[in-house]
Amino acid sequence: MEFITGENRDQIILLPDSIEDYVEDNKSVRVIEAYINSLNLSDIGFSRPQPHDTGRPRYDPKDLLKLYVYGYMNRVRSSRRLETETKRNPEVMWLVGLSPDHKTIANFRCENGAALKQVFRDFVRLCGKWFVREGIGCDRREQVQGDEQQGPQFQ
């Protein structure tokens, strides 16, 4: 009797060609992408990053905000855990496309705390409206609304 075996790790094409192939059309990261790209961050109160004369350019605040909204939805609050997600989770790789270190992530939170809270509130309201319009049941909508301590709970 033979056993079921996996693919040979040495073969040239083992995984899909594109990171796009890992993210289905109905995943929440696509909603995050569309929502954050529609925002004008300076109107909400996000600080405008000032470039340094030397060294690396700064990260785009929209990319860091996408990472935070993802973390809010999935109960990942630690900047170190968010950093890890950018290296191991294909959905986050698709969403952010980079891997900032935990200090950069934590600094973004410190510099933009009030604006982050406003984005989280608006995002939860928006998701609640979408679920009502799409006819999703109340119990599912309540999961999305969550509370400020636990955050939304849908995927």
The rounded distance, in Å, linking the Cα atoms of 129 and 83 is: 31
Identify the DSSP state of 58: P
Identify the DSSP state of 55: S
The rounded distance, in Å, linking the Cα atoms of 83 and 81 is: 5
Q: Is the pLDDT of residue 124 over 80?
A: yes
pLDDT at 139: 41
pLDDT at 141: 40
Domain boundaries, the chain: 19-44+58-145
The CB density around residue 36, as the number of other CB atoms within 10 Å, is 22
Most confident by average pLDDT, 20-24, 70-74, 144-148: 70-74
Weakest mean pLDDT among 45-54, 111-120, 121-130:
45-54
pLDDT more than 70, % of the chain = 83
pLDDT at 132: 53
The rounded distance, in Å, linking the Cα atoms of 152 and 84 is: 21
pLDDT in tens, 40-54: 998 998 887 777 777
Tokens at residue 70, please?
């993802």
Tokens at residue 96, please?
């952010």
Chain-centre distance of CA 78, in angstroms?
13
pLDDT band for 155, please (50, 70, 90 cuts): very low
Q: Is the pLDDT of residue 140 over 50?
A: no
Q: Is the pLDDT of residue 23 over 50?
A: yes
